[in-house]
């Protein structure tokens, strides 16, 4: 697999971001072998397959650090209601009806939607059928950090078994994932995983050198309840339990004190900031400017389509910037460079897919092309600004992971879009039939 993309403009990866015009990228065996300004070296021009991509912008792919792909079936089942109503009356009863087939169609939809909007890698957590998500991700050609989610209820034996199974799965994915998949242990949240269970998971993670993930400090209610139960906020509690000693991704992190922000200021810790989900569920606005000021590794995640309601990381970037500017009455509260950094370089690092640097010779060929001709990107002088403040995932035309083309001119190359559309609607009809039947049975 050797080829050259020529005559592209490229956004360099890393602050300060720059736009380099009229570039070529030489791709070989899944890696970027060379990047340069035209003209092409003569021997490459002669011997390689050259694809002229004039008018396209090369950008690092998007790294989505929080998803629940099996929940894509639940997009739009409930909006505009309080979190507890949403969970208890709409989401959980339907999740109880998800079987292997429905998880598979949901995840297929999510993966296809992510590729279509320029995402090359994601972190996924669900309590069911994650082995199917592994297979799907391999087939789709994306990179992912996968975890079977855990809730710490049941007997001690049941708990131990749960942790054993999740660990075995993570280890198997690490082994069989061809470097594209990494396993993770993801206890759901401090409010669903009591301290002894968390200690068990933490020990297992450290023993097996697996990264940890968790939902943390998402709502103020959850933080208050934790303080009442344990006399301390969940972030402080997790620190005491040793959660922060290894590699970990801390998701949401909306309700934090200055001291708690300082506590998670460690090179091994990543924040997965989910602004649209936190907004939609009324959870609040994470203190991102304070986190960035302290130097925390802040990344971006969409959460599931049940609370977003799409997986477009371009929109997530824009919302991340706009929310902070609005709430802080500061137009510079979070900048375009900062949100691109979160969605690309920092995300790649958090997921373990960044070696030396993105978009440079020696780096995996993970990148996307965007069409610069859309009217909302005119005039094309400051394309970096346009990508953050005007573009959407729909402007992405091509997606490459390890040099393999997952989307070509908006056509998926590794997944069957028509089939996914058919399956997801069949699955949804089936789910709603079961949901209505179950409700009738209860009443």
Site for a copy of itself in 183-202 (CB under 8 A): none
- Which of 67, 145, 238, 276 is in the footprint of a copy of itself by CB under 8 A? 276
Question: Which of the stretches 20-28, 147-155, 277-285, 401-409 binds a copy of itself when contact is defined by CB under 8 A?
Answer: 277-285
Output the six-digit token pair for 412.
């998926």
Least separation, in Å, of the C-beta of 101 and a copy of itself? 14
User: Which of residues 89, 425, 436, 437 is near a copy of itself by CB under 8 A?
Assistant: 425
Position 421 contacts a copy of itself (CB under 8 A): yes
Q: Which of residues 101-160 bind a copy of itself (CB under 8 A)?
A: 109, 112-113, 116-117
Name which of residues 62 to 101 contact a copy of itself (CB under 8 A): 72-73, 75-77, 79-83, 86
Q: Is 95 annotated as a binding residue?
A: yes
Q: Give the closest residue to 390 by CA, choosing from 399, 379, 398.
A: 379
| DSSP string for 237-285 | HHHHHTGGGS-EEEEE--S--HHHHHHT--TTEEEEE-HHHHHHTT---
Closer to a copy of itself by Cβ: residue 325 or 404:
325
Judged by DSSP in three states, 212 sits in: strand
| E strand or H helix at 200 | helix 195-207
Which range, of 14-22, 150-158, 167-175, 414-422, touches a copy of itself by CB under 8 A? Answer: 414-422
Distances (CA, A) of 222 to 50, 65, 307: 55, 22, 18
Whole-angstrom distance, CA of residue 429 vs CA of residue 432: 5
Residue 303 annotated as binding site: yes
Applying CB under 8 A, the site for a copy of itself has a residue count of: 73
Q: What is the CA radius of gyration of the chain?
A: 22
State the nearest-atom distance from the C-beta of 358 to a copy of itself, in Å. 22
Considering the complex, state which of residue 196 and residue 332 has its C-beta at the smaller distance from a copy of itself.
332
Cβ proximity to a copy of itself: between 135 and 417 the closer is 417
CA distance 302 to 433: 28
Q: Does 428 bind a copy of itself (CB under 8 A)?
A: yes
Give residues 353-392 in contact with a copy of itself (rule: CB under 8 A): 373, 375-376, 378-382, 385-386, 388-390, 392
327 binds a copy of itself (CB under 8 A): yes
The reply on whether position 172 binds a copy of itself by CB under 8 A is no
Contact status: 410 vs a copy of itself (CB under 8 A) = no
Strands 269-273 and 297-300, sheet pairing: parallel
Check: CB of residue 114 under 8 Å from CB of residue 106. Answer: no
43 is in an annotated binding site: no
User: Rounded to the nearest 5°, which phi and psi values hold at 289?
Assistant: -60, -40
- In the complex with a copy of itself, which residue's Cβ is closer, 209 or 331? 331
Determine the angle formed by the axes of helices 130-140 and 156-176, rounding to 10 degrees: 10
20 is in an annotated binding site: no
Q: Which is nearer to a copy of itself, 81 or 203 (CB)?
A: 81
Binders of a copy of itself among 328-347, rule CB under 8 A?
A: 328-333, 335-336
String of b and e for 6-18 (b: at least 16 CB within 10 Å)? Answer: bbbbbbbbbeebe
Q: Is 366 annotated as a binding residue?
A: no
386 assigned binding-site residue: no
The answer to the question of whether 226 is labelled as a binding residue is no
Q: How far is CA 339 from CA 11, 172, 334, 335, in A?
A: 14, 34, 7, 7
Q: Which of residues 214-273 bind a copy of itself (CB under 8 A)?
A: 220
Tell me how far apart the alpha carbons of residues 214 and 242 are, in angstroms, rounded to a whole number: 13
Minimum distance, C-beta of residue 245 to a copy of itself, in the bound complex (Å): 32
Q: What's the min distance (Å) between Cβ of 38 and a copy of itself?
A: 20
Give the strand pairing for 367-371 and 56-60: antiparallel
3-state secondary structure of 37: strand
Binding residues: 66, 68, 95, 148, 188, 215, 218, 303
Binding residues for substrate: 95, 148, 188, 218, 303
């Amino acid at each position: 697999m050797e080829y050259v993309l020529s005559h592209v403009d490229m956004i360099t990866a890393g602050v300060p971001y720059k736009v380099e015009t009229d570039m070529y990228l030489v791709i070989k065996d899944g890696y970027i072998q060379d990047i340069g300004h035209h003209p092409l070296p003569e021997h490459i021009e002669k011997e390689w397959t050259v694809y002229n991509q004039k008018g396209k912008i090369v950008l690092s792919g998007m790294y989505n650090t929080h998803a629940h792909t099996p929940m894509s079936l639940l997009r739009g089942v409930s909006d505009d209601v309080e979190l507890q109503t949403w969970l208890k009356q709409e989401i959980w009863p339907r999740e109880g009806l998800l079987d292997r087939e429905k998880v598979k169609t949901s995840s297929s939809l999510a993966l296809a939607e992510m590729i279509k909007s320029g995402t090359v890698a994601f972190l996924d957590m669900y309590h069911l059928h994650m082995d199917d998500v592994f297979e799907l991700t391999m087939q789709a050609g994306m990179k992912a950090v996968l975890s079977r989610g855990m809730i710490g209820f049941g007997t001690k034996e049941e708990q131990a078994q749960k942790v054993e199974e999740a660990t075995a799965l993570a280890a198997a994915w690490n082994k069989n994932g061809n470097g594209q998949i990494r396993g993770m242990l993801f206890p759901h949240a401090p409010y669903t995983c009591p301290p002894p269970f968390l200690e068990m998971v933490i020990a297992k993670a450290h023993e097996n050198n697996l990264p940890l993930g968790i939902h943390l400090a998402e709502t103020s209610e959850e933080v208050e309840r934790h303080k009442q139960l344990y006399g301390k906020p969940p972030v402080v509690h997790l620190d005491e339990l040793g959660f922060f000693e290894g590699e970990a991704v801390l998701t949401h992190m909306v309700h934090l004190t200055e001291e708690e922000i300082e506590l998670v200021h460690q090179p091994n810790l990543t924040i997965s900031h989910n602004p649209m989900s936190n907004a939609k569920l009324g959870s609040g606005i994470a203190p991102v400017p304070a986190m960035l000021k302290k130097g925390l590794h802040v990344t971006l995640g969409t959460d599931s389509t049940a609370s977003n309601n799409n997986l477009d990381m371009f929109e997530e970037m824009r919302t991340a910037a706009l929310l902070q500017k609005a709430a802080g009455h500061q137009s510079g509260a979070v900048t375009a460079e900062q949100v691109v950094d979160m969605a690309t370089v920092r995300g790649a690092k958090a997921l373990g897919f960044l070696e030396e640097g993105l978009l440079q010779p020696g780096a995996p060929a993970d990148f996307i092309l965007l069409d610069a001709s859309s009217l909302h990107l005119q005039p094309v002088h400051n394309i970096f600004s346009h990508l953050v403040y005007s573009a959407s995932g729909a402007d992405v035309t091509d997606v490459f992971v390890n040099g393999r083309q997952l989307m070509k001119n908006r056509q998926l190359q590794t997944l069957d879009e028509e089939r996914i559309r058919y399956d997801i609607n069949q699955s949804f009809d089936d789910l709603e039939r079961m949901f209505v039947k179950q409700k009738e049975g209860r009443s």
